[in-house]
Amino acid sequence: MKKFTTISIFALTIFCFCFLQGISSKNILFFHSVATSSHRTAIWPLASKLADLGHDVTYIFAIDPQKRVGYHPKIEEIVPSKMVSIIKEFVADFDINIRLENRVDEWLQTVFTTAITVCEAFYDSPETQEWLSRPNLHFDLVLIDAGFGECAYGLVHKFKAKHIVFTPFVCGLVYDTFGVVPESSSIPDPFFDFMPNQITLIQRTWNTIAPLMWRYNILKYIEKLEPMVRDKMNMTDMPPIAEFEKNTSLVFHNGHFIEEYPVSLPPMFVSYSGIRCEPNKIKPLPTELSDFIKDTDTFVYVSLGSSVDVGKMPISLRNKFFDAFKSFKDVKFFWRWSGPIPQDTPDNVMLAPWFPQLDILGHPKAKAFITQGGRPSIQEALCHSVPIIAIPIFAEQDHNAMKLEQIDALVRLNINNISEDDIATAINEVLHNPKYAEKIRKLSNMFKDRPIDPLENLIYWTDFVLRHDTSLLKPLAMQQTWYQRRLLDVYGFLLLIFLTLIVVAAVIMYTAIRMCYYILKICLRKHKKE
């Protein structure tokens, strides 16, 4: 009898646990629009952890499965086929020659029209249509990549779900959207290479105008996007996209005070920088890689990003890297490479389309990281205390590299005029000048010194959104116009008062002078008569 009772209690406990898990389980959707693999890399731990906790997670990402990081058996992935080719051509295989030929600004000008094409392709893809036609399809929460993710507001409306926006970094695309006034007087826009301590009046002027221009272009883009989404979803009652922006529950941003300038953000902004930092989970390198470095104490990892097609760089530029690498006889190099492997690859260099980056950077022989300077890469270098050489290619990478260069945390090179000597000197500097290893060690300790694990913090705030209304966390400025946030109407009113006072004073003075003139004139006439 006692044995039966024990078994019954155990069974009841298991049943209650499973029952409660079922009650707390939510349907959660992640959506990426115009995004690189790094966008997924940075947020994937959250999706994976939510699935581990029993939530039903669906993930929409339009990049070839072979180029993306992360797999979870309990996460359903939707890959809209019509989006894939557009994303691949535009950003997933970013041609390095766009940077080498100084065409990045020209490329950026096409992003808004591309975003509309990508959104249309999402709704037209057969995978999307099959998914949306499923009976009883429902989501409690939608997490949207801020990179032109307005396309997903049609899904938010269809499912009557709450939504969170996550952004790779804070820039002009999100400032006015969420009622934040950028600190333009001191913090450069990520797409400018202004030095904060030396910013001039003209630069501050451009810095002030930039977020407004971003917002203007976003609004023009939304004007075209909104009717298309309504039509594709057949939802004439869908509110304006501006209303969805105001109803955003939280903004998850991939930033930390080490990798970006200190910026004032409202409580609705939650950082997710460092959620991939797990030094205790580093795995041994595959045999092929470990054999390659067994006869050396030092190796350098080279990756200019998962989205940059380095195989298209001119042979002359490739040879500059090869010749620089060959000059370090006792150092091995892993280089993440795209395309065919060149026949003249040096013996101390291994090229491959993919490397286990976290495991490589966590290896004790990793002494330097040559990177494009993307946020996830910098965070992983900080996590594992690996000195950095940054060679920015596009997006916010110049901004990231410049910030860390100012505090002597890395060596920055310009790929547009790079030489073999520049590369060799930079490698020699980070390998043999102890200030870089010491600096990155100190920053790494600060980066990992948190009151709560970044991933656990993100899980907490995700659950918070599911449990509560977040209106009290939002800045009141979200309800104001762009000019009200900047007090331009107040300054205009004060200027009007000032000008009015000047005019009144001028009129009074003019009147007084005229009266004095007439009085003097009358006095002179009387004097003459006498």
Contact present, 298 and 312 (Cβ < 8 Å): no
Tell me what pLDDT residue 1 has: 44
Tell me what pLDDT residue 344 has: 93
Tell me what pLDDT residue 528 has: 67
User: Distance between CA 64 and CA 57 in Å, rounded?
Assistant: 20
Within this chain, do residues 461 and 408 fall inside the same structural domain, yes or no? Answer: no
- The answer to whether residue 408 is domain-embedded is yes
Within this chain, do residues 438 and 467 fall inside the same structural domain, yes or no? Answer: no
Within this chain, do residues 331 and 239 fall inside the same structural domain, yes or no? Answer: no
- The answer to whether residue 2 is domain-embedded is no
Helix (H) or strand (E) holding 14: helix 2-24
Within this chain, do residues 343 and 410 fall inside the same structural domain, yes or no? Answer: yes
The residue count of the chain comes to 530
- The answer to whether residue 18 is domain-embedded is no
- The answer to whether residue 429 is domain-embedded is yes
The CATH number of residue 438's host domain is: 3.40.50.2000
User: Distance between CA 40 and CA 31 in Å, rounded?
Assistant: 10
Closest by CA position to 380, among listed 256, 266, 503: 256
Backbone angles phi, psi at 468, to 5 degrees: -130, 165
- The answer to whether residue 384 is domain-embedded is yes
Contact present, 194 and 202 (Cβ < 8 Å): no
- The answer to whether residue 9 is domain-embedded is no
Report, as ranges of residue numbers, the positions in the chain whose pLDDT lies below 50.
Answer: 1-23
Within this chain, do residues 88 and 142 fall inside the same structural domain, yes or no? Answer: yes
Q: Residue 285 gets which letter from DSSP?
A: P
Q: What is the pTM of this model?
A: 0.89
Total domains present in the chain: 3
Q: Is 133 exposed, middle or buried (0-12, 13-18, 19+ CB in 10 A)?
A: exposed
- The answer to whether residue 188 is domain-embedded is yes
Within this chain, do residues 406 and 465 fall inside the same structural domain, yes or no? Answer: no
Tell me what pLDDT residue 89 has: 84
Tell me what pLDDT residue 23 has: 43
Within this chain, do residues 144 and 288 fall inside the same structural domain, yes or no? Answer: no
Q: How does DSSP assign 168-221, residue by residue?
A: SS--TTTTGGGTPPP-TTTS--TTS---GGG--HHHHHHHHHHHHHHHHHHHHH
Helix (H) or strand (E) holding 16: helix 2-24
Quote the Cα angle for 221-222-228, to 5°: 105
Which residue, 394, 429, 448, sits at the end of a domain?
448
Contact present, 414 and 423 (Cβ < 8 Å): no
Tell me what pLDDT residue 17 has: 41
User: Distance between CA 93 and CA 211 in Å, rounded?
Assistant: 28
Within this chain, do residues 292 and 426 fall inside the same structural domain, yes or no? Answer: yes
Closest by CA position to 273, among listed 289, 282, 292, 260: 260
Question: 296: domain range?
Answer: 279-448
Within this chain, do residues 198 and 285 fall inside the same structural domain, yes or no? Answer: no
Within this chain, do residues 457 and 375 fall inside the same structural domain, yes or no? Answer: no
Q: At 222, list the tokens.
A: 């939304």
- The answer to whether residue 21 is domain-embedded is no
Within this chain, do residues 269 and 283 fall inside the same structural domain, yes or no? Answer: no
Backbone angles phi, psi at 57, to 5 degrees: -110, 130
Within this chain, do residues 288 and 229 fall inside the same structural domain, yes or no? Answer: no
